[in-house]
Structure 1
Amino acid sequence: MTPNPYNTGLDRTPANYQPLTPLSFLERAASVFPDHTAIVHGALRRNYADFYARSRQLASALSARGLGRGDTVSVMLANTPAMLECHYGVPMCGAVLHSINTRLDAAIIAFQLDHALSRVVIVDREFMPLMQDALSLANVTPLLIQYDDPEFSGSEFATDAEDYEIVLSAGDPAFDWLMPEDEWNAISINYTSGTTGDPKGVVSHHRGAYLLAQGNALTTSMAKHAVYLWTLPMFHCNGWCFPWTLSAIIGTHVCLRQVRADPIWEALAQERVTHLCGAPIVMSLMISAPETVKHALDHRVQFFTAAAPPPEKLLAEMKDAGFDVTHLYGLTETYGPAVVNDWHDEWSALPAAQQAKLKARQGVRYLALEGLDVMDPESMTPVPCDGQTMGEVMFRGNVVMKGYFRNPQATQDAFAGGWFHSGDLGVRHPDGYIQLKDRSKDVIISGGENISSIEVEEALYRHPAVAVTAVVAMPHEKWGETPCAFVELTEGQVADAETLRAWCRDHLAPYKVPGHFVFLPIPRTSTGKIQKFLLRAQAEDLALSRIPDRASSVVI
């Protein structure tokens, strides 16, 4: 074979090759539009010049404390300016950002801190008591930094932590921050919900963050200077990479410490918000607000949702209120959403019921994703595009994680056959759009939060009255899904729903506590495996029968 003449003398040099990183988006925004408003938070308005300077100060301060490439900085923050600064300042010193779900319990947080080898922890004052509990259980002894958000009106908490603003003030606003040595370098680590044992640390790289951040802008039709409202927690997959997207389009972040109807509607009107993301529960919160709280909008607002498909009625109400709703799908392992239900204009002329059916589909791949398919996991062949044949949803491309931190076997399993195995089961329709049908890991998505059915089952098994239990998702009008626990009692033992609910409250985060308990012989296969598909069907029937939420018990 004749050698390729283009392979000689045309090599990479600093002049024609630089590692891709979303950190460069902020540098460009600050140099081109230094006075444009980057962040709005209550009375605070911060421009891009200051946003960039503060991020560099944070990087400088961390570097001065010995942080560098491969070190982990954990943060437990609300949707505040500090969280945005951490998305830039932490990787600017070469470290890796670990965002912690503020709704977790102390034991899980302690596990994450230890597993991630955390060297610094930056904590919002509101969450400091929880972090102190977690640190008392952890083996690591990180440097503790407390952030005092002026929008938080809670009580003071005595701590010997360093003050975030004082730490920042010691940093250099002109710090010569570190580009990644390689775009494959880790930028963040986020932990899964731990559906099959301990949570796994998903490692993301600069290249993937750069590509998905731009993919967000293209997918959501974000124009230059778009205004984004933070109703999505930034600890979820780094806010689906939107902290970096907004710098790419020189947009404005409108921070929201708490997801409440009043400030959402106020921001939509006063700040002329153009985009926001969230679970269906956020839409319900907005639509069910009193009319005195709502504002008439003089512009269309793009709302991007994931988790369970919104009900037809809610979609219609959102449309009437001035919102265009688009369904997204992804996982922590794909930097957040990598699949979009790309809407065809002609679909808008269809009856509402048919539109709702189409909107329930997860969709097609992002531009930044190279491969998306539904495959037989054994043969690794695509299933027919018939909307009926189920297979496993698989991903391939630059916006798939590096792997699971300190877990080579799980990484190898996830990438078997050259594709990332999502664990989600779905079908592919004749037009190529995919639709999820089940979750092989039995994850329950409630209000946008992932709940491990195994974790809830393990808590119930620790109660002496519980012989056998199985937890499945029950459809819920407000939360999308809630846990429903099926229980067989130990012979001679007595327990009712309130007893077990109180037990769960003592052992689980509040949002993981089952809303319903059903006492019955649990169906099994001939080999003793619990038939969860039968229990899911029963849970759906119970939901349709409109049994009041928090029912005391159901006996079948």
Structure 2
Amino acid sequence: MQSPLIDLFRAVADAVPDRECLVHRSVRRTYAETRDRVERLGRVLTAHGLGVRRERGELRGHESGQDHVALFLHNGHEYAEGTFGAFAARTVPFNVNYRYTAYELKHLLRDAAPAAIIYHAAFAETLAQVLPALPRRPLLLQVADDTAPRLLPGALDYETALAEAPTAVTLPVPSPDDLYMVYTGGTTGMPKGVLWRQGDVWTALLGGWQRPGIDSPANLVKHLLDTPEGQRFLGIAPFMHGAGWWYLIRAMTGGDTMVVPDVVHRLDAADVCRTVERERLDTLPLVAEAFARPLADELERGTYDMSRVRAVVSGGGPLAAETKRRILAALPHAEVADSAGSSETGGIIRGWSTAAQGVGEDAVFTPLPRACVVDEELTRVLEPGHEHAGWLAARAPVPLGYLGDPGKSASTFVTVQGERVALPGDLAHLRADGQLVLHGRASMVINSGGEKIYAEEVERALLNQPHVRDALVVGRPSPRWGQEVVALVQLDGPGEGTGDTVLREAAAERLARYKLPKAFLRVPAIRRSPAGKADYAWARALAEKDAEGQATPRAEAEPEAGS
């Protein structure tokens, strides 16, 4: 369905105005109420001069002709309003990881060059450190929260701005070519903005392929009027991540209800279960083991009425078989689905597990319609039963490119046999029976708790320390996080600056805490080839041997998922 996302939301709000759109704590807003606030925010942005600078037809794939709006927010009403309010003004919302340090945030915002930033007050101090380094001063909209700091200089209070939104402003007519941008990490560890046409989002990111009869806003309205109630989603997956954001957008363009638990700055499994029970939710999107394992623990500890739950959906990494068994034991009437993909592809493979059918084979998925495997030379699409592993790829629709990076755009979005495909960087094998075996990332990406952590970025943070002569960073299996970060370090010698705590805290000046090594292994020398190429296989073997021989050393408690 080639429609701007704001048109789909408006159609839903007109069709089911009294249906609940989003619930968080004591605030319950209907579609009509949410639409009013979305339109107000759109008028605020438009009144401040934000909008389209150059139409899509004048631009190359890695270019944007629209102003960008940063969403530096916890899950809540403001994330929904910021997303669709930006669409209403024909600006481009983008996600900001609220775990970032000022150092990381500066790189992201300099890359994205936002014309406006909507942020929770809790992040005001970090943002204030970064603003002087930006190429221009953006419009600042500060959302009040429990921290209650003063407004940053020049900032507008979010609620006051909406209440005083000018009524005389006419919102622009949107286009299917308007952009939707989701930030992900680049191969160097620096974030990259993936540019999608809004007209392609319904099919690629929102599961439109499952609803072929809904091919226009009019048919969407007909479907809604024939459906007595929508799905009720748990809003626990952080909206700042692609998969969580897509579920929010899917709910708001499908007439569904999104319910955010009371606790948003960390994972509180008891709060999650109480929310599911109280709100009678039926669909629970999670982020890999970091969310699924604590949920399984709480389900086994407590007594909750989960009879309405029909689906538990994991993104950000496959679930362990034992975790799926535990969830199905607690929720025997539900289905557990593993969905895999990336910001460049959307979900393109999925595995299903039920109490009756069991959990199936590890790392074996059903390819969805856009998934394919291409040979390693990128010359052809492979048929089922091919001999060697190839690259997992997504067929059209695919993104236009990465913001400001024509080189990386050209290497990720390639043409194979006349067809443009996206390569997320995973190696895979399509079996003769049509099932897909996922071998994993070819690049050195560590997937920990649903977060993608780039080894080179962590290595750089360690090598900046005076006592570290050389370092390699690898991931090793973790029952809680899927993978955990382990650093092998070659030190100049023992000293006050070489303890785990000192190394970790020094790295924390440049890295969000979820990226910090869970363990440090000291080695006499880092093994490299004569050309200086690191021996990562050797490093992984040492890290895994250390895990087998002793409990992983910790200098601090592991942070909660979502914190």
Equivalent runs, 1:439-478 vs 2, <5 Å: 439-478=441-480
Residue 339 (str. 1) matches residue 349 (str. 2):
yes
Helix, strand or coil at the partner of 2:37: helix
Residue 185 (str. 1) matches residue 205 (str. 2):
no
Distance 1:500 1:468 in 2: 13
Helix, strand or coil at the partner of 2:185: coil
Distance 1:508 1:179 in 2: 41
Residue 283 (str. 1) matches residue 292 (str. 2):
yes
Q: Do the aligned partners of 1:72 and 1:119 also contact (CA within 8 Å) in 2?
A: yes
Equivalent runs, 1:103-122 vs 2, <5 Å: 103-122=99-118
Q: Using the TM superposition, give the Cα deviation of residue 308 of structure 1 relative to its aligned residue in structure 2, in angstroms.
A: 3.4
Q: Do the aligned partners of 2:283 and 2:309 also contact (CA within 8 Å) in 1?
A: no
Distance 2:329 2:550 in 1: 27
Distance 2:234 2:356 in 1: 30
Deviates more, 1:316-325 or 1:73-82: 316-325
Q: Using the TM superposition, give the Cα deviation of residue 541 of structure 1 relative to its aligned residue in structure 2, in angstroms.
A: 3.4
Q: Do the aligned partners of 1:444 and 1:452 also contact (CA within 8 Å) in 2?
A: yes
Distance 2:528 2:374 in 1: 27
Equivalent runs, 1:25-64 vs 2, <5 Å: 25-64=8-47
Cα-to-partner distance string for 1:133-174 (whole Å, 9 max, x where unaligned):
22233333111110114xxx3343453321101111122679
Residue 364 (str. 1) matches residue 390 (str. 2):
no
Equivalent runs, 1:30-429 vs 2, <5 Å: 30-69=13-52, 70-149=66-145, 153-160=146-153, 161-171=155-165, 177-181=171-175, 183-186=176-179, 188-196=180-188, 198-212=190-204, 214-215=206-207, 218=210, 224-237=229-242, 239-256=244-261, 257-258=264-265, 259-279=267-287, 280-289=289-298, 293-322=302-331, 323-334=334-345, 336-341=346-351, 355-358=359-362, 360-365=363-368, 367=369, 369=370, 372-382=371-381, 385-386=384-385, 389-398=388-397, 400-417=398-415, 418-429=420-431
Q: Do the aligned partners of 1:265 and 1:294 also contact (CA within 8 Å) in 2?
A: no
Distance 1:31 1:379 in 2: 46
2:519: which partner in 1? 516
Distance 2:538 2:373 in 1: 24
Q: Using the TM superposition, give the Cα deviation of residue 384 of structure 1 relative to its aligned residue in structure 2, in angstroms.
A: 6.8
Q: Using the TM superposition, give the Cα deviation of residue 113 of structure 1 relative to its aligned residue in structure 2, in angstroms.
A: 1.7
Cα-to-partner distance string for 1:171-210 (whole Å, 9 max, x where unaligned):
26797543433x2321x22222233253222112211222
Q: What amino acid sits opposite 1:312 in the alignment?
A: A
Helix, strand or coil at the partner of 1:430: coil
Helix, strand or coil at the partner of 1:210: helix
1:11: which partner in 2? none
Helix, strand or coil at the partner of 2:258: strand
Q: Do the aligned partners of 2:23 and 2:258 also contact (CA within 8 Å) in 1?
A: yes
Q: Using the TM superposition, give the Cα deviation of residue 525 of structure 1 relative to its aligned residue in structure 2, in angstroms.
A: 3.8
Distance 1:480 1:54 in 2: 39
Equivalent runs, 1:503-542 vs 2, <5 Å: 503-520=506-523, 521-525=525-529, 527-542=531-546
Q: Using the TM superposition, give the Cα deviation of residue 526 of structure 1 relative to its aligned residue in structure 2, in angstroms.
A: 5.2
Distance 1:504 1:465 in 2: 13
Aligned in 2, Cα 1:230/1:388: closer, same or farther, shift over 3 Å?
Answer: farther
Q: Using the TM superposition, give the Cα deviation of residue 377 of structure 1 relative to its aligned residue in structure 2, in angstroms.
A: 2.9
Q: Unpaired runs of 5+ in structure 2?
A: 53-65, 212-223, 557-563
Helix, strand or coil at the partner of 1:550: coil
Q: Using the TM superposition, give the Cα deviation of residue 460 of structure 1 relative to its aligned residue in structure 2, in angstroms.
A: 0.9
1:13: which partner in 2? none
Q: What amino acid sits opposite 2:21 in the alignment?
A: A
Q: What amino acid sits opposite 1:44 in the alignment?
A: V
Q: Do the aligned partners of 1:195 and 1:453 also contact (CA within 8 Å) in 2?
A: no
Distance 1:174 1:436 in 2: 54
Distance 1:383 1:423 in 2: 16
Q: What amino acid sits opposite 2:107 in the alignment?
A: F
TM-score, normalised relative to structure 2 = 0.84
Aligned in 2, Cα 1:46/1:173: closer, same or farther, shift over 3 Å?
Answer: farther
Which residue of 481, 499, 502 maps to 1:499? 502
Aligned in 2, Cα 1:433/1:177: closer, same or farther, shift over 3 Å?
Answer: farther
Q: Using the TM superposition, give the Cα deviation of residue 290 of structure 1 relative to its aligned residue in structure 2, in angstroms.
A: 7.8
Deviates more, 1:163-172 or 1:402-411: 163-172
Distance 2:536 2:382 in 1: 24
Distance 2:545 2:245 in 1: 34
Q: Do the aligned partners of 2:69 and 2:115 also contact (CA within 8 Å) in 1?
A: yes
Cα-to-partner distance string for 1:428-462 (whole Å, 9 max, x where unaligned):
23323323323222111111111111110001111
- Structure number with the bigger relative contact order (C-alpha 8 A, sep ≥ 6) is 2
Cα-to-partner distance string for 1:348-405 (whole Å, 9 max, x where unaligned):
656x5xx3524x334312x4x3xx222233252345745973222222211x211011
Q: What amino acid sits opposite 2:453 in the alignment?
A: I
Q: Percent identity?
A: 26
Q: Unpaired runs of 5+ in structure 1?
A: 1-17
Q: Using the TM superposition, give the Cα deviation of residue 86 of structure 1 relative to its aligned residue in structure 2, in angstroms.
A: 1.2
Distance 1:455 1:283 in 2: 27
Q: Using the TM superposition, give the Cα deviation of residue 214 of structure 1 relative to its aligned residue in structure 2, in angstroms.
A: 4.3
TM-score, normalised relative to structure 1 = 0.85
Q: Using the TM superposition, give the Cα deviation of residue 120 of structure 1 relative to its aligned residue in structure 2, in angstroms.
A: 0.8
Q: Do the aligned partners of 2:142 and 2:158 also contact (CA within 8 Å) in 1?
A: yes
Q: Do the aligned partners of 1:308 and 1:481 also contact (CA within 8 Å) in 2?
A: no
Helix, strand or coil at the partner of 1:118: coil
